[in-house]
Amino acid sequence: MQQKINFIIIDDSKEDCYLIKKRLETLDKNFNIKSFLSAQEAYDYINHTGINTPADSRKNIIILDIYMPLMDGFEFVEEFETLPKNVQDNYLICALTSSINKIYIDKISTYNSVKYFLEKPIKTESLLDLIEG
């Protein structure tokens, strides 16, 4: 029996959001999955609902694309890290990258709140690591 998990997917590509959702659903139909095409909207959502999420109820995982127009992954993480500590603690950020360029992966890993990495295309095994880790 899998643990109940909320997922927030942030990716400007509608197709990729859908794909990640589908892949998660192949693992467990009961995941609660929310997708955002814009990092700003995701941030606003977390900012409004984050405080009300009881810390112990469910695991909240944010799957965050790095390269996006307007607010990109880096900016999102910077904004996220200004949120109250108890809100931040409710979430686990997993950076999603299609980049072959190591510089961007190195840069995103300097942020404390980024704990996991996923590379596109996402492999089922790496998702399982994320869920169980």
Partner 1 sequence: MSKTDKIKILYLDDEVNNLIGFKASFRVDYTILVANNSTEAYQHLEKNPDIRIIFCDQRMPDKTGVEFFEEARSLYPLPIRILLTGYTDIESVIDSINRGNIFRYVKKPWTNEDILSCIDQANKFYMVNSMLSLKNIELQKAYNELEKFAYSVTHDIRGPLLSILGAADVAQYIDDIEEIKEMLRLMEKSVKKLDTFILNIHDYYSLKQGELQIKEVNFEDVVKDQTDNYKMTTNMKNINFIAHVEQNETFRTDEMSLKIILSNLLSNAFKYQKKHNRNKLVELAIQVRRGIATLQIKDNGIGIQEKHIDDIFNMFYRATAEEVGSGIGLYNVKDAVAKIGGEIKVTSVFDEGTTFLITIPTK
Binding region for partner 1 (CB under 8 A): 12-13, 15-16, 18-19, 22-23, 26, 37-38, 67-70, 98-101, 120-122, 124
Give the whole-angstrom CA distance, residue 102 versus residue 51. Answer: 35
Nearer to partner 1 by Cβ, of 76 and 90: the residue is 76
Nearer to partner 1 by Cβ, of 93 and 96: the residue is 96
- Nearest distance in Å: CB 56, partner 1: 32
Task: List 94's β-bridge partners, or say none.
Answer: 63, 116
- Nearest distance in Å: CB 117, partner 1: 15
Give the whole-angstrom CA distance, residue 98 versus residue 96. Answer: 7
Nearer to partner 1 by Cβ, of 16 and 50: the residue is 16
SS3 of 83, please? coil
Look at residues 74, 82, 71 and name the one whose alpha carbon lies nearest to residue 114: 74
